[in-house]
């Protein structure tokens, strides 16, 4: 990836550092080299995760906000020609768990995670960004939208695009995301239109209207409503329904309004985005409106030298006409359940280190903690704590995660489970990005 693109990725993550600011802050060559090494580490830690998001938007933002050297300007000019670029990733995964005797007896399991293709670029003034993921058990479109730069500050996106909510673009550093992902409130993508105000005058704003989820809503023409990347509501749990059953009462989200406001403040080397998010929409049973739902959050994302701290407090509620206190959700080719109402809190801390170990250029150490509590269905709290390290080496990006969790999907439980046991999963995810 070219230099100006990398600077754009860091700007999109809320840590704006450029060669121009380095020159202003440094007084000698050693200082400049030290800060350049720090920038390389931050790039390595974020690049693979941010590659899954709106790269074209990030590049445009950086070009408008950051001063460019003559070399960077020439490279930007080279990239300005029309065309669609093809990229992607191949990822494999190893796991060793406490909740599967077979897995433990085998010494863990190693398998293909995904094969992924990405398209991004522009033809004329119209932008394109899309990603399709191929799993052993399903195929899913994560996002697919066209965009247009309305003004220097505003861009519009239409299609399957990310719902603006919470710390952006992720409220996590690890491969599993946070507990919010499994209740549909992190890295969620739906069908609609999104207006994005780029960072200017220290604030940015995202406003979206989403007609329905990415699979066409409650009566979308799909083989299974569970074959999706993002978690969404697919039904209400009726008395006698099992946690993992196909929903007996199908429901779908529709006509959702979502907004996210972020204000950036700086104090010396400390840079923080303070934000608030909210969304509200309806629930449909295929015949008529069957209820509504809403969620809100306050969040912060702070950078200080090598450190990054993310905090978020969230509340959500699904108000179904039949009074259901448990909802069915679908993702990754299976159904699960969540409480109709709950509160969530997350605390994520990370430390980035520049290194020069052969192909290894950056390490990021992190601990991510999430808790979902005060559940309306009376089930026990969902807790997940992940201690890990990510390693960047050329096109390879690898997560080493040690997970301890209670009532957590993919860690021996359900988001609506009632277990008092803490389960463990050691996980290695190796991805090659091209």
Percentage, residues of the chain above pLDDT 70: 81
Written as six digits, the tokens of 16 are 């704006």
Q: Which pLDDT band, with edges at 50, 70 and 90, does 56 fall under?
A: very low
pTM of this prediction? 0.83
For residue 59, give both structure tokens: 């590049």
What letters, b where the CB count within 10 A reaches 16 and e where it falls short, cover 141-167?
bbbbbbbebeeebebebebbbbbbbbb
Q: Left if phi > 0, otherwise alpha if psi is -120 to 50, otherwise beta: which for 122? A: beta
Contact 36, 44 (CB under 8 A): no
Helices 3-12 and 70-79 cross at an angle (nearest 10°) of 90
Q: What is the b/e burial string over 396-433, where b = at least 16 CB atoms within 10 angstroms of the residue's CB?
A: ebbbbbbbbbbbbbbbbbbbbbeeeebbebebbbbbeb
Residue 217 to residues 88, 91, 184, 231, Cα–Cα distance (Å) = 28, 30, 15, 13
pLDDT tens digits, one per residue of 189-222: 999 999 999 877 899 999 999 999 999 999 999 9
Q: What angle do CA 337, 174, 427 make, to 5 degrees?
A: 80
Q: How far apart are CA 172 and CA 193, in angstroms?
A: 25
Which residues, at least 6 apart from 305, have a Cβ–Cβ distance to it below 8 Å? Answer: 38, 269
| Length of the chain as a residue count | 434
Cβ atoms 423, 417 nearer than 8 A: no
Highest mean pLDDT among 50-54, 196-200, 232-236: 232-236
Q: What's the average model confidence in pLDDT over 249-257?
A: 98
pLDDT of 404 reads: 98
User: Going edge to edge, which strands form the sheet with 232-236?
Assistant: 249-250, 232-236, 326-331, 334-339
Separation CA 316–CA 335 (nearest Å) = 20
What are the structural domains, with CATH classification, of the chain?
84-433 (2.40.160.10)
CB 373 within 8 A of CB 355: no
According to the model, what pLDDT value does residue 46 have?
Answer: 53
3-state class (DSSP) for residue 126? strand
| pLDDT per residue as tens digits for the range 150-184 | 999 999 999 999 999 999 999 999 999 999 999 99
């Amino acid at each position: 990836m070219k230099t100006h693109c990398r600077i754009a990725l860091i700007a999109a993550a809320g840590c704006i550092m450029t060669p121009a600011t380095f020159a202003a802050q440094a007084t000698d060559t050693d200082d400049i080299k030290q800060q350049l090494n720090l920038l390389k580490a931050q790039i390595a830690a974020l690049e693979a995760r941010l590659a899954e998001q709106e790269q074209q938007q990030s590049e445009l933002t950086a070009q408008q906000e950051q001063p460019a050297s003559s070399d960077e300007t020439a490279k930007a000019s080279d990239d300005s020609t029309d065309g669609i670029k093809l990229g992607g990733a191949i990822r494999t995964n190893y796991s060793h768990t406490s909740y599967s005797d077979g897995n433990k007896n085998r010494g863990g399991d190693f398998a293909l995670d995904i094969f992924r293709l990405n398209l991004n670029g522009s033809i004329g003034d119209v932008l394109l960004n899309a990603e399709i993921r191929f799993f052993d058990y399903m195929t899913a479109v994560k996002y697919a939208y066209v965009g247009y730069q309305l003004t220097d500050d505003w861009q519009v996106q239409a299609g399957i695009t990310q719902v603006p909510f919470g710390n952006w673009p992720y409220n996590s550093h690890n491969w599993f995301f946070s507990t919010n992902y499994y209740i549909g409130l992190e890295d969620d993508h739906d069908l609609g239109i999104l207006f994005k105000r780029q960072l200017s005058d220290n604030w940015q704003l995202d406003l979206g209207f989403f007609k329905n989820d990415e699979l066409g809503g409650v009566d979308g023409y799909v083989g299974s409503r569970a074959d999706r990347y993002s978690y969404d509501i697919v039904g209400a749990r009726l008395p006698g329904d099992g946690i993992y059953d196909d929903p007996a009462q199908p429901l779908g989200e529709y006509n959702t309004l979502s907004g996210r406001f972020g204000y950036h403040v700086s104090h010396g080397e400390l840079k923080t985005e303070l934000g608030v998010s909210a969304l509200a929409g309806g629930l449909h049973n295929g015949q008529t409106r069957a209820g509504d739902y809403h969620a809100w959050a306050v969040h912060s994302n702070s950078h200080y030298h090598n450190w990054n701290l993310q905090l978020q407090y969230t509340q959500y509620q699904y108000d179904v006409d039949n009074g259901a206190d448990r909802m069915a959700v679908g993702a990754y080719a299976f159904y699960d359940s969540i409480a109709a109402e709950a509160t969530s809190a997350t605390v994520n801390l990370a430390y980035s280190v520049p290194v020069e170990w052969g192909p290894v250029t950056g390490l990021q150490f992190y601990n991510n903690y999430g808790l979902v509590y005060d559940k309306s269905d009376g089930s026990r709290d969902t807790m997940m704590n992940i201690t890990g390290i990510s390693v960047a080496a050329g096109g390879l990006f690898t997560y080493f995660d040690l997970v301890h969790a209670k009532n957590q999907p993919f860690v021996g439980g359900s988001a609506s489970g009632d277990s008092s046991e803490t389960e463990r999963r050691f996980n290695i995810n190796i991805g090659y990005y091209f």
